[in-house]
Amino acid sequence: MDAALLQVDCSTAIKKNTPRFPMLLSVDQVLKWAFLAASLMVVVLLAGSVIFVAVIHIINSLQLTSTIVDADLVFFWDWNDGVGYLWLSVPMAAAAAVGLLLPRRRARGRWVLALVAIVFATVAHYMNGRGVPDFIAAHPDGIAYTILAGGGSLISLGADLLGIISLFIGGPEY
C-alpha cells in the first residue's frame, strides 16, 4: 500500500461554476435577451402605430375612396398581428424584469421566469416571421424589407431556440 498517491491540483479539477457547454446561454443571459426583445417589440409597435396613423391622416386629407384605403393599408399593418404581438410582449417583459430582479439564490424561480419569457419571445418572433411572406406577396419588389425582416426573424428565432435549449440543458443553476 505504499503506492504513490495521484496528485490532483486545483487547475485540473472540475470547478462548479464552469459551463459544461460553452455555447449555451446562462439563465441571466436568457432573461436579458427576452427583456431586450420585449423592449424592441414595444419600440417597433410604437413606430408602426405612428406611421399607420400618419398614413391614415394623409389619405384622409387626400379624400380617397374607402376601397383604395382599405386595399392599400391591409399589407402595411395588420392590427390583429400587432395587438397579438403587443399582448405577447407584456408578459415577456414582466417575466424577464422580475427574473432579472430576483437574487441568484432563487435559481429555480429565475429559471421558470426565463422559460416563460423565452417561450413568449419565441411565439412573438414566430408571429413576426409569419407576417413577412404576407408583405412579400403584397409588395414583390420590396427586396430590402424582405431581406431585413426575414433575416431578422430567422436570427431572433435562432436566438430564442438557443435560449430554450440552454435552459433545458443547463438547468437552473447555470
pLDDT at 112 over 80: yes
Q: What is the pLDDT of residues 90-101, one digit of tens each?
A: 889 999 999 999
Domain residue limits, the chain: 27-170
Rg from Cα positions in the chain: 23
Q: Which cell numbers hold the place of 55?
A: 398614413
Q: What is the pLDDT of residues 8-42, one digit of tens each?
A: 555 555 556 565 677 888 899 999 999 999 998 88
Q: What share of the chain is helix, strand, coil (3-state, %, to 5)?
A: 75, 0, 25
Rounded to 10 degrees, the C-alpha dihedral 116/24/98/124 comes to -40
* CA–CA dist 92, 95 (Å, integer): 5
pLDDT band at 85 (very low <50, low <70, confident <90, very high): confident
Q: Which helix (H) or strand (E) holds 116?
A: helix 107-138
- How far from the centroid of its chain's Cα atoms is residue 43's Cα? 13
Range with the largest mean pLDDT of 4-8, 63-67, 85-89, 98-102? 98-102
> pTM value?
0.71
Q: Specify the 3-state DSSP secondary structure of 13.
A: coil
Quick check: 75 and 132 in contact, CB under 8 A?
Answer: no
